[in-house]
């Protein structure tokens, strides 16, 4: 005799109860008792019946009580079930969407745009916002220029689109004159402009191998230089964070040390970057509750992410970090929309 049915056979009543419980706990932050639930769940059951159902939920590992007589709080599994099948997402107010759109204008520089997105996520959700900076592998190179800085240093300017310019300083193995540099740039521009960085690089490597002996040395140098220029994307490993301080609001005073570690991770960024990079291959909004992220530091937090696309390619991920009891019904659409708007803004500028 099985008296605790598998989760997918949860009765409607139990589901409704869990839902009310999670909603209440997210709102109030206090363990929810049977009495409160019997009043608010809209099920017309007495507190005693509620208690029976709650005992079942506890057996299934969906809720737990901090101590004998303190009401129940959702477990990570409870949040998971809630998010997966009980949550009703509120569509965002169209004014809110409009306001977001206005702050992510396509004519902003990429860096400003990314920082705005992160800041918006944080401001709107009152939690920490984060944006993985866009990768450029599929961005078209518009123009490449060299500029001599000193004897063996040259500034490389890569024009990606009308709002984005990257530059890098390269050390050369010998001195090139301004004229030579200009020739090299012309040579490269003829060959690579209009392609994305990946294929530019492939082509350069191919040319370098294939026709090494047939070319004059300047052109060979040009190819090498171009290859170096395209190779090192100095911003590639970056993530822009915002509003970390909001997390202090949710901090239980017990765990200052945990919080410290989290803030240290925010400074280091490596951990956050790892998390975001894992999400880059997924589609749509992803939610990590508690330990699901696989990063110890985030055990007590939830993370909501969404990838954003430019020209049909996912180029980055953004999201928020907040307490496990965050208002998922609001946060999910916010993250979703922000990802779309950021993608759109980056896209409409080529």
Partner DNA sequence: GATTAGCACTCTTGCAGGCAGAGTGCTAAA
Partner DNA sequence: TTTAGCACTCTGCCTGCAAGAGTGCTAATC
Question: Measuring CA to CA, how many Å separate 325 from each of 34, 63, 83, 255, 290?
Answer: 20, 13, 11, 17, 10
Residue 334, Ramachandran bin (φ over 0: left; ψ between -120 and 50: alpha; else beta)? alpha
The full DSSP string for 42-81 is: SS---HHHHHHHHHHHHHTTSEE-SSTTS-BEE-HHHHHH
In the numeric block, the tokens 């009580």 are attached to 65
x/- letters, 9..48, toward DNA (CB under 7 A): ----------------------xxxxxx-------xxxxx
x/- letters, 102..121, toward a second copy (CB under 8 A): -------x------------
Which of 204, 242, 321, 339 binds a second copy (CB under 8 A)? It is 242
Assess 58 for contact with DNA (CB under 7 A).
Answer: yes
Nearer to a second copy among residue 87 and residue 155 (C-beta): 155
Assess 70 for contact with DNA (CB under 7 A).
Answer: yes
Nearer to DNA among residue 49 and residue 161 (C-beta): 49
Residues composing the chain: 350
Assess 184 for contact with a second copy (CB under 8 A).
Answer: no
168 in Cβ contact with 316 (< 8 Å):
no
Assess 159 for contact with DNA (CB under 7 A).
Answer: no
Assess 243 for contact with a second copy (CB under 8 A).
Answer: yes
Question: Distance (Å, rounded) from C-alpha 129 to C-alpha 112?
Answer: 15
Assess 92 for contact with a second copy (CB under 8 A).
Answer: no
Residue 71, Ramachandran bin (φ over 0: left; ψ between -120 and 50: alpha; else beta)? left
CB of 50 to DNA, least distance (A): 7
Cβ atoms < 10 Å from Cβ of 122: 22
Assess 245 for contact with a second copy (CB under 8 A).
Answer: yes
Assess 217 for contact with DNA (CB under 7 A).
Answer: no
> Phi, psi at residue 13, to the nearest 5°?
-60, -50
Question: Distance (Å, rounded) from C-alpha 92 to C-alpha 78?
Answer: 25
Assess 350 for contact with DNA (CB under 7 A).
Answer: no
Assess 68 for contact with DNA (CB under 7 A).
Answer: yes
When computed from its CA atoms, the radius of gyration of the chain, rounded to whole angstroms, is 27
CB of 146 to a second copy, least distance (A): 11
264, interface contact from DNA, a second copy, none, CB < 5-8 Å by kind:
a second copy
Assess 89 for contact with DNA (CB under 7 A).
Answer: no
Question: Measuring CA to CA, how many Å separate 58 from each of 32, 49, 122, 126, 250?
Answer: 13, 14, 34, 31, 25
Which positions lie near a second copy, rule CB under 8 A?
109, 143, 145, 147, 149-150, 153, 155, 157, 159, 162-163, 165, 167, 169, 242-245, 248-249, 251, 253, 256, 259-260, 263-264, 266-267
Q: Which residues bind DNA (CB under 7 A)?
A: 31-36, 44-49, 51-52, 54-55, 58, 65, 67-72
């Amino acid at each position: 005799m099985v008296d605790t049915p598998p989760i997918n056979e949860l009765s409607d009543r139990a589901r409704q109860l869990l839902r009310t419980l999670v909603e209440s706990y997210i709102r109030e932050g206090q363990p929810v008792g049977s009495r409160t639930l019997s009043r608010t769940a809209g099920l017309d059951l007495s507190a005693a019946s509620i208690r029976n159902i709650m005992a079942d939920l506890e057996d299934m590992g969906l809720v737990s009580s901090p101590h004998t007589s303190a009401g129940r709080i959702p477990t990570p599994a409870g949040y998971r079930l809630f998010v997966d099948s009980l949550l009703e997402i509120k569509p965002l107010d169209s004014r809110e969407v409009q306001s977001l759109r206005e702050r992510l204008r396509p004519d902003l520089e990429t860096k400003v745009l990314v920082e705005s997105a992160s800041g918006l996520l944080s401001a709107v959700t009152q939690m920490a916002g984060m944006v993985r900076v866009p990768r450029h592998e599929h961005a078209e190179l518009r123009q490449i220029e060299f500029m001599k800085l000193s004897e063996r240093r040259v500034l490389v300017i890569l024009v990606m689109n009308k709002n984005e310019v990257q530059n890098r300083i390269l050390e050369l193995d010998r001195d090139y004159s301004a004229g030579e540099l200009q020739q090299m740039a012309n040579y490269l521009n003829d060959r690579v402009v209009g392609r994305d960085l990946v294929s530019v690089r492939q082509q350069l490597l191919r040319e370098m191998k294939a026709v090494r002996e047939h070319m004059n040395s300047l052109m060979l140098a040009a190819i090498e230089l171009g290859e170096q220029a395209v190779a090192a994307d100095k911003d590639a490993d970056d993530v822009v964070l915002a509003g970390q301080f909001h997390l202090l609001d949710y901090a239980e005073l017990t765990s200052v040390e945990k919080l410290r570690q989290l803030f240290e991770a925010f400074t280091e960024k490596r951990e956050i970057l790892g998390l975001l990079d894992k999400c880059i291959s997924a589609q749509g909004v992803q939610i990590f509750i508690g330990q699901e992220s696989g990063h110890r530091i985030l055990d007590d937090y939830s993370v909501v992410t969404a990838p954003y696309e430019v020209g049909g390619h996912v180029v980055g991920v953004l999201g928020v970090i907040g307490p496990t009891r965050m208002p998922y019904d609001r946060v999910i659409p916010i993250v979703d929309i922000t990802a779309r708007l950021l993608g759109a803004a980056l896209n409409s500028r080529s």
